[in-house]
Amino acid sequence: MLEALAAFVCLAALVAYLGSERHDTPREENAVLPVAPTGRPVLPPPGGSQPSAVTPGLNPRQRPPSPSPSPSRPAVPPTLTVSQSDVPARVDLSAVGTVDWVQWGHLGARTPVRKRHGSGDIRDEGGRGERQSYDNNPEEYAWRDGTPTAAVSGTLSGVYTCDRGSGFTLAVAANGQLRTVHLYAGLWMARGRLDLRISGGGPASTLRMEDPHTARTADFTIRFRAAPGAKLLLSWTVEESLGDCGNVSLQAVALR
């Protein structure tokens, strides 16, 4: 009797439990997969995260093409021309040397006068022989923007050096543009030789001037072009002395 009662109680408890159990309604998946430009759906990567948006017209990781490099300009070959003419009775260095100028002799053999705030492109490279100053040049030189002498209305000064092989060596820096150099030089009872060349294997030229009896001067006008870093090299020397202390002289150089 007791066993039958226990079985009935267990059966009643089981029925009550089954009647109270609820099942959740299955959840519908409404997520829509993105579609690639090919028409196929894009599957999510491992881990379940959604793929990033695709930029229209570009595949993933595709970059716009880089622009083509501009063609480099060919290097301009160096040029060099020289002409010779008489020196005017008065040379205004401030007007002729708008970029730079140098005058020798006014302050003695060792101290030239330069253009104040000039480019510094004219360089005195020395030369062979002892320099002497003088003040009886056939032409006069004037300036109004010099240093250490600010202004001079007219000086007949210059420097000279005697005997064969002696002379002056100068240089003018190039900047890639056409430049004009005026070399004011002379001689006395000598044959002078002017050698010009562009550094680095550029063109070269040679001129000669001679007077066996007295003094002579000239304006050597040089036009040249070379790449920045190159130089116009000038050498004015006594090729042959034709008298006692036959010499070459140097008055000024102007650059424009």
Question: pLDDT, tens digit, for every residue of 75-132?
Answer: 779 999 999 999 999 999 999 999 999 999 999 999 999 999 999 999 999 999 999 9
Q: Binning pLDDT at 50, 70 and 90, where does residue 31 land?
A: very low
Q: Which residue has the higher pLDDT, 76 or 179?
A: 179
The answer to whether position 8 is within a domain reads no
CATH of the domain at 249: 2.60.120
Per-residue model confidence as pLDDT tens digits over 204-235? 999 999 999 999 999 999 999 999 999 999 99
**Residue 34: which of 22, 20, 45 has the closest Cα?**
45
Residue 211 near residue 187, CB atoms below 8 Å: yes
The answer to whether position 106 is within a domain reads yes
Mean pLDDT of the chain: 84
The answer to whether position 171 is within a domain reads yes
The answer to whether position 9 is within a domain reads no
Highest-confidence segment of 16-30, 42-56, 88-102: 88-102
Instruction: Give the sign of the dihedral formed by CA 242, CA 247, CA 250, CA 251.
Output: negative
The answer to whether position 38 is within a domain reads no
d(CA 255, CA 73): 27
Q: What is the pLDDT of residue 40?
A: 54
Whose tokens are 């420097």? That residue is: 159
Domain with 85, as residue range(s), is 79-255
The answer to whether position 180 is within a domain reads yes
The answer to whether position 136 is within a domain reads yes
Q: Binning pLDDT at 50, 70 and 90, where does residue 67 land?
A: low
- Residue 12: phi, psi to the nearest 5? -65, -40
Q: Which residues pair with 187 in a beta bridge?
A: 216, 248
Two structure tokens written together for 185 = 């030089």
**Sequence letter at residue 139:** E
Q: Binning pLDDT at 50, 70 and 90, where does residue 239 land?
A: very high
**Sequence letter at residue 13:** A
The answer to whether position 166 is within a domain reads yes
Domain count, the chain: 1
d(CA 250, CA 109): 11
